[in-house]
Amino acid sequence: MSFLDILQTKVTETEKGIIFIHSHDSEEFVPYSEIYQRAGRVLHHLQRGGMKKNDKLILQLETADEFVYSLWACMMGGIIPIPISQASNDDAKRKLCKIFEVSSPCKMIYSGNLIEKLEKFEYLVDNANRYEHIKNNSFSINSFTEEGDFEVNKESDLEDIAFVQFSSGSTGDPKGVIVKHKNVLANVKSITSSSIYERDETMLSWLPLSHDFGLIGFHLNALYNNFTQYIIETDIFVRNPLIWINKASEHKINYLFSPNFGYKHFMNVLERNRIKNRPHAEWDLSNVKGIYNGAEPISIDICNQFLDSLADSGLKKEVFRGAYGLAESTLAVTITDKNKPLEVHIIDRTSLYLGNEVEFLDNLKDKNATVLVDLGLPVDNCHLIIVDNDGNELEEKFVGHICIKGDSMTSGYLNNEEATKNAFLSGEWLKTGDLGFILHGRLVITGRYKDLIIINGRNYYPHDIEKDAEKVEGIDLGTIVATRVYNSEVGGEELLVFVLFKKGVEQFIGLSKKIKSHITNSIGIDVKHVIPIKKIPKTTSGKFQRYKLAQNYIDGKYDGLLEEMSRTEQPVVRMVINCEKDDVFEDVIRIWTKTLGHEEFAEDDNFFDVGGDSKSLVKMCALVNKRFPNLITTSELFGMPTVRELSEYICTSVGIGG
C-alpha cells in the first residue's frame, strides 16, 4: 500500500475531510471525496502540460487548499512533489532558484504573481536565461479552471519517491531529502502507534504544509487515520495567533501542533490584549488530548508558561507531547509518553563534552545547572545509537553524535552523491548532525554539532547560553542568539551574542553590559560583542539561523554599529568627590527619603519593598547623578536596591576608602 492507495479510499468519503479556516468568520468544509475531485482537475492540467510519472514538480502555493489539491494531484499521477516555503522575501527567492537548479529537470506550480516578482529579483535579473527557464517551466494554478480527464497512476510502488523534502535551511546550500512511499507509511504508522489515537478524533494546525511537521505530522497523519482536520492559514495565525485557540475551543479539537515560537507568539499577543483590557472568548480546551511540540529545541519554560496562560481553560497539564525528528527520517524519531508531563533533567553543563559522561544535579540553582527535556523512546521501526567522533558506540549517559536507522530513513539526497555518502556511518547509520545522550533508552538532545562553540578547549551549546542569558532583566524568551566566529589573530573561536532590540544604541548599552557580565559570571565565558539587531533570521520552522548572523559579522555588516557602540561606551570622566564614607551614606539616605517621600526604611531594605517603583527609580537616578555627576545609569541602579549597596558602589567609584 502506498499513499495513493489511501487517497483512492477517499473517493467516496463525504463525512470526513478538511475545514479550511480563512478567518474568524470564514470556514470551508471540503470532504475528502471533493478534495480528490479537485486534485483531479489539477492533475488534468499538469498532464495536459506534459507531466508524467516520476517528473518533479516544485510546489509554490499561497493557500493551504491550493497546496493540498496540488499535493494530492502529484500523488495521484505519480508526479514527485517538492514542497518548499513561499518565496516571499529575497532569501526565500534565492532558495527557490537554487532548488530549481538542484532538482533539474523539474517544473513548478505556483499561485499569485510569483513569476512577476521573480522577474524583478536581482539574482535572476543578472541571469535572464535562468529566469526564462523558470518561467517556461511553471504552471499557474489560477489558470486551472476547466474540468477534464486525468489518469491515475496504476503502477504505484512502495519504492516510488513520494516527495522530496528540502531542509528548512540551516545553511546556504539546500539538500533535497528523498522520501519514498515506504518511508512515509512507516513513519505515519509509527506516529499513530505512539499516539494511541481513538476513532473520529480531530486535529488543528496553522503550520505551513511545506514543512515536514505540518505535512506529515499533521496532514498525512490525519489523512491516514481518516480524521477531520482543521487548517488555519499560516499568515492568519501570524497576524492574530488567538484564532488558534479560539478555533480549538470552538471545534472541541483533540490535537494541536506547534514549535516553541508558536506558543510564545500566542502568549505575547494574549498578554498585550490583557494589558489593554481587551476581552477574549472563554476558552474550553478540555477536549485537547495532545499538543505536539517539535521542530526546534523544546523549552520547558515556554511550555509551562503556555499552560499557565490557559490555566482557566480546562487544558490538562499532561497534554504536551515532545518529539524529535528530522527530514532524513521522514519526520518522527522519538515521541514522549501520552498523558504524562514532559520530563526534564538538571545537568551540569560543564559535563556536556562530546564523549563525556553527563553529571546530574539535584538543585536547579547550582551555577552550572542547565535543564534538558527528555524526548522519549524511539518510535516503532526506528533505532538510534550514540557514537563518538570515530564512530564507536557509546554507553548510556555519554554525549555523542546521534545516529539512526529504520524503515522511515531516507536513501539519500536528490542529485547529491557526495552529501549522501557523507550522511551515513558505515553505509548503515544516518548521522543526524545532532548531539545527545540516551538515558533508560530515552533520548536527550544537547545541541547541534555544527553550532557547538569551542573556546579554550571547552564546549558550549548556544541554546544553553541563550537560555541562561534570558534571566537578564529586559531579555524576553526567544530574543537572544548566541553564535561563534573564528578569530585568526587569537587562533580560536569567540562568542557573539545578538539581541532583538528595536530602540537606539544609547538605550542598548546598559543592557549589553548586563548581558556580558551575566554570561561571564554564570557560564565563565567572555563575550566578544553583544549586538542589537532588528530581526532574527529563522528557518520556516522557527530555528535560529546562527550562521547568517555570524556571516554578516564576518562581512562587516555590523562594523558601523559596533563603532557607534564603542563611542557611546567610552568611560565618562567623573568628578572627584571630596567627602568621607559616612557622608556618602548620609547623602544616599537623603536621596532615598526625597525619592520615596518617607523615612521608613533600613539600610538593607529593598527599594521596591518600601514603596519604590520603576518611575521613582528614574527619579532617584537623577538625584544620585546630580550629587555625584555621571556616576550611574538606571539599569545599574536597578542592581543596587539597598542603601548599603548603593553607598558602597559610590564610595568605590569615587575612590573613597574604608
Q: What's the chain's average pLDDT?
A: 88
Q: pLDDT of 2-59, one tens digit each?
A: 778 888 888 998 999 999 999 989 999 999 999 999 999 999 999 999 999 999 999 9
In a domain, 408, yes or no: yes
Q: CA-CA distance, 585 to 173, in Å (whole number)?
A: 62
Q: pLDDT of 139-156, one tens digit each?
A: 999 999 888 899 998 877
Residues forming a β-bridge with 429 = 425
pLDDT band at 71 (very low <50, low <70, confident <90, very high): very high
Residues 66 and 190 in one domain: yes
In a domain, 263, yes or no: no
Residues 456 and 592 in one domain: no
In a domain, 297, yes or no: no
Residues 50 and 161 in one domain: yes
Q: pLDDT of 319-346, one tens digit each?
A: 999 999 999 999 999 999 999 999 999 9
Residues 48 and 191 in one domain: yes
CATH number of the domain that residue 39 is part of = 3.40.50.12780
Residues 479 and 624 in one domain: no
472568548: which residue's cell? 281
pLDDT of residue 573: 40
Of residues 542 and 402, more confidence is placed in: 402
CATH number of the domain that residue 593 is part of = 1.10.1200.10
In a domain, 322, yes or no: no
In a domain, 290, yes or no: no
In a domain, 98, yes or no: yes
Residues 122 and 228 in one domain: yes
| Across 342-346, 457-461, 486-490, 585-589, least confident range | 486-490
Residues 410 and 465 in one domain: no
Number of folded domains that form the chain? 4
Domain with 69 in it: 3-239
Residues 91 and 221 in one domain: yes
CATH number of the domain that residue 544 is part of = 3.30.300.30
Q: Which residue, of 450, 468, 486, is where some domain finishes?
A: 450
Residues 422 and 489 in one domain: no
Residues 543 and 413 in one domain: no
- State the angle between helix axes of 614-627 and 581-596 in degrees (0 to 180), rounded to the nearest 10: 140
Q: Which residue, of 521, 546, 569, is where some domain finishes?
A: 569
Residues 527 and 496 in one domain: yes
| Percent of the chain whose pLDDT exceeds 90 | 54
Whether the per-residue pLDDT at 653 is higher than 50: the answer is: yes
Q: Which residue, of 217, 239, 261, is where some domain finishes?
A: 239
- State the angle between helix axes of 260-275 and 300-309 in degrees (0 to 180), rounded to the nearest 10: 40
Residues 19 and 160 in one domain: yes
Residues 317-352, buried b or exposed e (16+ Cβ, 10 A)?
A: eebbbbbbbbbbbbbbbbbbbeeebbbbbbbebbbb
pLDDT of residue 3: 78
**pTM, 2 dp:** 0.76
In a domain, 624, yes or no: yes
